[in-house]
């Protein structure tokens, strides 16, 4: 197993699972709001396009990436402080 994968698998996420679930569910909810606004402003003429689904998934993706980066940056700061 590569070192980076072993480190990632064994690292403490720094965030409780309940917070991760709550953030993901909130991003899904907000994604539906964004998709609803899109649907309301464009009407039913674009009923066949997949943009509303893409908007929901994009909200979830952004939330997951931001959460990952915050946890990674937090772990890096703690590691840097441990070495000093």
pLDDT greater than 60 at residue 47 = yes
For residues 37 and 57, give the distance between their C-alpha atoms in angstroms, rounded to a whole number.
Answer: 15
9-22 residue pLDDT tens? 665 666 788 888 99
Host domain of residue 22: 17-76
Whether 34 is covered by a domain: the verdict is yes
The structure's pTM equals: 0.69
Whether 38 is covered by a domain: the verdict is yes
Phi, psi angle pair for 12, to nearest 5°: -75, 125
57-84 residue pLDDT tens? 999 999 999 988 888 776 665 555 555 5
For residues 70 and 84, give the distance between their C-alpha atoms in angstroms, rounded to a whole number.
Answer: 22
Q: How many domains does the chain have?
A: 1
Whether 8 is covered by a domain: the verdict is no
Whether 29 is covered by a domain: the verdict is yes
Whether 69 is covered by a domain: the verdict is yes
3-state SS, residue 44: helix
């Amino acid at each position: 197993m590569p070192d980076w994968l072993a480190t990632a698998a064994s690292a403490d996420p720094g965030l409780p699972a309940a917070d991760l679930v709550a953030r993901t569910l909130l991003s899904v909810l907000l994604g539906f709001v964004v998709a609803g606004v899109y649907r309301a402003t464009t009407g039913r003429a674009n009923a066949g396009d997949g943009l509303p689904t893409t908007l929901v998934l994009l909200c979830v993706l952004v939330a997951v990436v931001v959460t990952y980066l915050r946890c990674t940056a937090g772990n890096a700061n703690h590691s840097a402080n441990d070495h000093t």
